[in-house]
Amino acid sequence: MKKIIVPFEGPNYPEECLELVRALNAISPVRLTAVFAPEVDYSQIWSVTGGMAGATYLPDLGDEDRIVAESSQRLEDFCKGHSIQMFIHKDRLDFALALIRRETRFADLLVLDGQHFFENIDDRQPNAYMKEILHTTECPILLVPAKTVIPGKIILAYDGSASSVYAIKQFSQLFPEFSGLPVTLVYLRESKEAAFPDRENIEELVSGYFTDLRLLQLEVDHKDFFFRWLPEQERPWLVTGSYGRSDLSQLFSRSFIAALIREHKIPVFTAHR
């Protein structure tokens, strides 16, 4: 049974994340752990605001307690109504990101709202809080947009790097219930002459997880095509290597993942060692 973490920060109730948990639980039971983090991570204020801590909104602690109580009750009602096994961790610290990071050490998946995560600090996603989480979590992350649904197709971003292969293995092992879905393994090459790296090996690996596999090769200058092609697929989920890893290619780089997060179009699964 997968243990899934959903962070609650401030007044933002992660409805999209919980709807996805509900849908996953309907396929195969999961355990949900709700982590109530403070609305502001006081260890991050200086860097996020450029040293102007006085310009940052600091919540009233009484308001935070009220919000936590209301969200907890709402969550309990939701989980009871959908038969979801739930745990609530309210041991809040002043350091939200450290709290979330600690929780991920003991979880299978962290589900984040790709649009609203700490938007009270910075609504330009991925903001500094999200970037920090993407770099430091100790379990895979699923970034979800509005109206996230169970996938109809899986897109595996592959560039021959260890990071991209690791993410593919993590996703495949975490979601065996998706083994019958159509899967496209996308490889970006620098030129038409570039060889598909370790093609037989990666095809052998992925075909062991998925029964309907297709390979797609793109050149670097087709990046815009890939951005247009992705949302046109049937309920796609993208699996890609770790955000910010230097061994990722030009297409599956930090800027590529950041652009997908800003667009809020499709769920993005990422994992790092």
Residue 179, token pair as written in the block:
């083994």
User: Looking at the structure, do residues 91 and 31 belong to the same domain, yes or no?
Assistant: yes
Query: How many structural domains comprise the chain?
Result: 2
Do 30 and 22 touch, CB atoms closer than 8 A? no
pTM: 0.82
User: Looking at the structure, do residues 56 and 124 belong to the same domain, yes or no?
Assistant: yes
Residues near 227 by Cβ (< 8 Å), separated by ≥ 6? 259
Residues near 106 by Cβ (< 8 Å), separated by ≥ 6? 3
User: Looking at the structure, do residues 173 and 261 belong to the same domain, yes or no?
Assistant: yes
User: Looking at the structure, do residues 66 and 191 belong to the same domain, yes or no?
Assistant: no
Do 129 and 48 touch, CB atoms closer than 8 A? yes
User: Looking at the structure, do residues 179 and 128 belong to the same domain, yes or no?
Assistant: no
User: Looking at the structure, do residues 115 and 209 belong to the same domain, yes or no?
Assistant: no
Within 13 Å and on the Cβ side, how many CA atoms surround 45? 16
User: Looking at the structure, do residues 19 and 125 belong to the same domain, yes or no?
Assistant: yes
Residue ending a domain, among 123, 144, 165, is 144
Query: SS3 for 141?
Result: strand
**How far apart are alpha carbons 6 and 113 in whole angstroms?**
9
User: Looking at the structure, do residues 93 and 193 belong to the same domain, yes or no?
Assistant: no
70-108 pLDDT, tens digit per residue, is 999 999 999 999 999 999 986 655 456 777 888 899 999
| Domain around 255 | 153-271
**For residue 194, what is the domain's CATH number?**
3.40.50.620
> Strands 109-113 and 141-144, how do they pair?
parallel
User: Looking at the structure, do residues 7 and 88 belong to the same domain, yes or no?
Assistant: yes
224-259 pLDDT, tens digit per residue, is 677 778 888 899 999 988 654 444 444 445 566 666
Q: Dump strand ranges (E) for the chain.
A: 2-9, 30-37, 85-89, 109-113, 141-144, 153-158, 182-189, 212-219, 236-241, 268-271
Q: Tens place of pLDDT for every residue, the chain, 273 residues?
A: 999 999 887 777 889 999 999 999 999 999 999 988 765 544 444 344 444 344 444 455 567 788 888 999 999 999 999 999 999 986 655 456 777 888 899 999 999 886 655 455 545 556 667 777 777 889 999 988 878 789 999 999 998 889 899 999 999 999 999 999 999 999 877 667 778 889 999 999 999 999 999 999 887 666 667 777 888 889 999 998 865 444 444 444 556 666 666 665 789 899 987
Of the candidates 125, 107, 108, the residue with the CA atom closest to the CA atom of residue 116? 125
User: Looking at the structure, do residues 21 and 131 belong to the same domain, yes or no?
Assistant: yes
